[in-house]
Amino acid sequence: MKMKKSVAVAAAAGTLLLGGCAPDRPAPVAQVRAWAPPGNGITRLPAREVLKRSSGALHAAASYSMAGSMSEDGMTIRFDMTVVDANRTGTIRVGDGTIELLAAGGNQYVRADQAFWAAFLGPKGAKQMAAVMRGRWTKATKDNPQLSKWFDAIDRDIDRVLSQGLGAENGTVIKFGDGEALLVTNRFEGASVYVATTGEPYPLKIGDASGSSITFAKFGEAFPEIKEPAPADVVAVPEKTRKA
């Protein structure tokens, strides 16, 4: 009897041990979906409202970069610009010449190479200007509005395309970079605007029949501080060369 009892006890203990060491069931695998930013609703709006909101988003942007080409006074200019709040800095290339632009502290400054001055002042005027400037900046003021036009030209082109009304119509949503954009076109002006469909409705690229093409990027990103040049690096434009 004692032997049968011991066997029974051992069997019961074995059952408990085996039950405690039963193989684990695999844990359920969580289904992870890639996160996608919500749409901003512009695809449901009329084209004119899309452009209005895109223009507002661009002007409200804290920072961004833009680069491209456009026509101005019969010339093709190429530019690369960084905008931070009301300040901006960048370069414009006209033919073989280059002019640097700097807007900071409510003031505008330009600095150009001799090839740029030669295109507007002729060889003699360019030589005189180079001797005076010596790589320094000059301030754009009401006395030399021709210098301010280089800042205004880009803004005018952007505002003109984004303010188009009659003829503007929505196209399709297309892949643009890492996201998507709504294409807005104008059959009368030959203009096209690619507007972001997620986040702020920023214009990502604009163009028109004249050959202008501007691409925007890096919205809200951090850029080096844009500051006014030191007073010692600024010189007045000579009176006799204020023809550019």
Q: What confidence tens digit (pLDDT) does each residue in 210-222 have?
A: 888 999 999 999 9
Interhelix angle 47-60/145-162, rounded to 10 degrees, is 140
Q: What is the pLDDT of residue 8?
A: 42
Task: Give 3-state DSSP helix, strand, coil % of the chain, rounded to 5.
Answer: 35, 35, 35
- Going from the first residue of the chain to its last (244 residues), give the mean pLDDT of each consecutive group of 10, the final group possibly shorter: 41 39 50 58 94 96 96 84 96 93 95 90 88 91 80 88 84 93 89 96 92 94 96 81 52
Q: Determine the Cα–Cα distance for residues 179 and 172; give it in Å rounded to an integer.
A: 14
Q: What confidence tens digit (pLDDT) does each residue in 92-151 have?
A: 999 899 999 999 999 999 999 999 989 888 889 888 888 888 899 999 887 777 788 888
Q: What is the pLDDT of residue 37?
A: 59
> What's the token pair of residue 217?
């990027």
Q: What is the pLDDT of residue 129?
A: 87
Backbone dihedral angles phi then psi of residue 126, each to the nearest 5 degrees: -65, -40
> What's the token pair of residue 152?
């205004």
Counting beta carbons within 10 angstroms of the beta carbon of residue 234, is it exposed (0 to 12), middle (13 to 18) or buried (19 or more)? middle
Rg (CA), the chain: 32
Q: Determine the Cα–Cα distance for residues 194 and 172; give it in Å rounded to an integer.
A: 10
Q: What is the pLDDT of residue 18?
A: 37
Q: Which residues are within 8 A (CB) of 115 and not within 5 positions of it... i.e. 6 or more apart?
A: 95, 96, 97, 98, 126
In this structure, which amino acid lies at residue 129?
Answer: M
Q: What is the pLDDT of residue 25?
A: 58
Topology (CATH) of 42-241 = outer membrane lipoprotein receptor (LolB), chain A (2.50.20)
